[in-house]
Amino acid sequence: MIRKQIALIKNPIVLCMVLSFFAIGGFHTFISAAISIFLFVYLLILKNKQNKILFFVNIYSVSVAVLCLFYFSTLFWAVDKLSAIYGFIKFLPLLLLILCLMQTDCEKAREDVLSIIPACAVLMTVVSAILMQIPALKTYFSVAGRLAGFFQYPNTFALFLLVAIIICGLDKKEKLTVRLIAIGILLFGIIYSGSRTAMLIAFPVFVLLVIMQKNKKFTISVSLVFVGLIAMALGYALIKNDFSVFGRFTQISLKSSTFLGRILYNKDALKLVAKYPFGMGYLGYNYLNQTVQTGVYTVRFVHNDWLGMLLDCGFIPFVLFVFSVVRFFFEKNENPLNKIIVAVISFHSLLDFDFQFVSIFLLFVMVLPVNKGEEKELNRSSVITVSALLTAFSLYIGSISFLCYSKCYKAANDISFLNNTEALMGLLSSEEDNKRSAEIADKILESNPYVAAAYNAKALAAFEEGDFATVIANKEKALDCEPYNIDSYNEYAYMLLVGRNLYIENGDNNSAEYCRKYIRGIESRLQTLKENTDKIAFMIKDKPEFSLSDEITKSIEEIG
């Protein structure tokens, strides 16, 4: 078995997929850039072997190509232009993968990748479960005590394990004993991950496997494994009186804070969809979501990757891609395994950001029948030219991404051809000189006017210089960007109270009254915010605050 798995890795596509699974699932842009370079090189090797590059025109290949094209085109209207370029490089491997599949035996490549996934998932589960017990490595393989694997995110790791269980359960070539051991390890990994969504999907998946296998021995055996592990996990949680990890699946509820929070994210995000029908560019949501949110939460992604796709690229590629996925379920003569994988990933991605892990998105695209339809031969010289340019560009953007990941913010910003918001924010957070902070903030706001930290930095620098008009202008904008940050309101009120006292001391009653007006405006802001807050916001863990601190409130009452 081991020799068979090693032999599979000789296939460059299999090797690429395996490496992407273990490389944080391809989450970071620099990893996607490395994948792109790998696939570019392989594509050129295939071209030299066959002396041609083929492209099969079908709804699946076209939808992937359009999606990648729109990730690039949003550059022209994106909230943050460099982030939009990050998005193009991040998802470029999707197009490159289907191009490589079109030049090879697609069915064989797909079969090889799927057959090696259970071994990868078992190895990942065992290794990460052991390594997370080492204090120095714990943060790399777990989150809040939950097993996160090499993905470093429990929920998507659990999805990967669930896909592996599906493949394992339907694999009639492998011995039943080996399959049951693998399924047991994989199910243990899902339980240890604490992913309630994966556990919720696991129940119907196990029923489906039993029905499809039509094997009494398999039914009894897999049922014992499933029930036994669930019982052991529940028993452990009861004995320890700790349901934060192994007993987390017992807390599945439509009223849970996590589930309600996701509903709130989606409701707020739909406002941005209406405002930006052609998308905001990659990570645009990250910068804009606080301006429309109606509750207290901080998220980088919307926790619904289908909605995330719509937010990033707009309705044209979204509708086309969704149509292709729906169309896939009506394809005749398609392997049921592929349809189950697409269904499971699709459903899980409605509640999480699985496609941000490019290895999962690559797997999703790979099982679609991209090698059907009209065959077109691409111009070889154009392919070589574009490949060379995109390889160089991927290396460049990947280097910037890696420098940011390594917290080498100055170097990342120095080599960026556009203002690098992420790097500049990193520099801003470590800068102690207020004047210098204001200069960095100006650079951020030149290209991205939705960063509250930049406005706060400018307000603090103005406060230090006694320029209260500038303090007001920037704090007002900061609160527009982060309306639920009660600490920012308290800081703003404190600044205005100090300003008012200074103006009174200098006999400038008009300016003092101007400060008083905005102090009262803070209370009005909070009242309006309270009225506009969604009812769900009061039902989740992080509840909004609408009252200033006792000290600030007392000072405001004294001024009348």
Mean pLDDT of 334-347: 95
Question: What's the confidence (pLDDT) of residue 218?
Answer: 86
Question: If residue 442 lies in a helix (H) or strand (E), which one and from where to where?
Answer: helix 434-447
For residue 402, CA distances in Å to 20, 87, 200, 394, 409 come to: 16, 15, 36, 12, 10
Percent of the chain clearing pLDDT 70 (strictly above): 99
Summarize pLDDT for 433-446 with one digit per residue, the tens. 999 999 999 999 99
Based on the number of CB atoms within 10 Å of its own CB, is 199 exposed (0-12), middle (13-18) or buried (19 or more)?
A: buried
For residues 300 and 555, what is the distance between their CA atoms, to the nearest angstrom? Answer: 36
**Tokens at residue 253, please?**
């509820």
Summarize pLDDT for 403-450 with one digit per residue, the tens. 999 999 999 999 999 999 999 999 999 999 999 999 999 999 999 999
Question: What's the confidence (pLDDT) of residue 451?
Answer: 96
The pLDDT confidence band at residue 254, using thresholds 50, 70 and 90, is confident
For residues 109 and 555, what is the distance between their CA atoms, to the nearest angstrom? Answer: 70
Mean pLDDT of 287-304: 93
Mean pLDDT of 334-362: 96
Question: What's the confidence (pLDDT) of residue 52?
Answer: 86
Range in 12-26, 148-162, 225-239, 283-297 the model is least confident about: 225-239
Mean pLDDT of 282-298: 94
Q: Give the predicted TM-score (pTM) of the model.
A: 0.94
Residue 5, pLDDT > 80, answer no
Range in 20-24, 71-75, 374-378 the model is least confident about: 374-378
Mean pLDDT of 322-335: 93
How many CB atoms sit inside 10 A of residue 465's CB?
12
Mean pLDDT of 515-539: 93
Question: What's the confidence (pLDDT) of residue 233?
Answer: 83
**Tokens at residue 528, please?**
């309006």
Question: What's the confidence (pLDDT) of residue 2?
Answer: 62
Summarize pLDDT for 142-156 with one digit per residue, the tens. 998 999 999 999 999
Residue 305, pLDDT > 60, answer yes
Residue 252, pLDDT > 90, answer no
First to last CA, the chain: 80
Residue recorded with tokens 């009262």: 520
Question: What's the confidence (pLDDT) of residue 7?
Answer: 72
Q: Max CA-CA distance within the chain?
A: 92
The pLDDT confidence band at residue 559, using thresholds 50, 70 and 90, is confident
The pLDDT confidence band at residue 247, using thresholds 50, 70 and 90, is confident
Task: Assign 377 to helix, strand or coil.
Answer: strand
Mean pLDDT of 522-542: 93
Range in 4-13, 208-217, 263-272, 365-374 the model is least confident about: 4-13
Question: What's the confidence (pLDDT) of residue 171?
Answer: 86
- Give the chain's radius of gyration (CA, Å): 27
247 versus 273: the higher-pLDDT residue is 273
The pLDDT confidence band at residue 1, using thresholds 50, 70 and 90, is low
DSSP of 448-488: -TT-HHHHHHHHHHHHHTT-HHHHHHHHHHHHHH-TT-HHH
Residue 558, pLDDT > 60, answer yes
Task: State the average pLDDT for the chain.
Answer: 92
Summarize pLDDT for 507-518 with one digit per residue, the tens. 988 999 999 999
Question: What's the confidence (pLDDT) of residue 120?
Answer: 95
Mean pLDDT of 46-58: 88
Question: What's the confidence (pLDDT) of residue 173?
Answer: 82
Q: How would you label 142-162 residue by residue, b for 16+ Cβ within 10 Å and e otherwise?
A: bbeebbbbbbbbbbbbbbbbb
Residue recorded with tokens 């920037």: 474
Amino acid identity, residue 212? M
Summarize pLDDT for 114-132 with one digit per residue, the tens. 999 999 999 999 999 999 9
DSSP of 489-550: HHHHHHHHHHHHHHHHHTT-HHHHHHHHHHHHHHHHHHHHHHHHS-GGGGTSSS-------H
For residues 219 and 65, what is the distance between their CA atoms, to the nearest angstrom? Answer: 42
Mean pLDDT of 529-545: 93
Residue 229, pLDDT > 60, answer yes
The pLDDT confidence band at residue 455, using thresholds 50, 70 and 90, is very high
Residue recorded with tokens 């409130």: 553
Mean pLDDT of 238-259: 81
Mean pLDDT of 247-252: 78
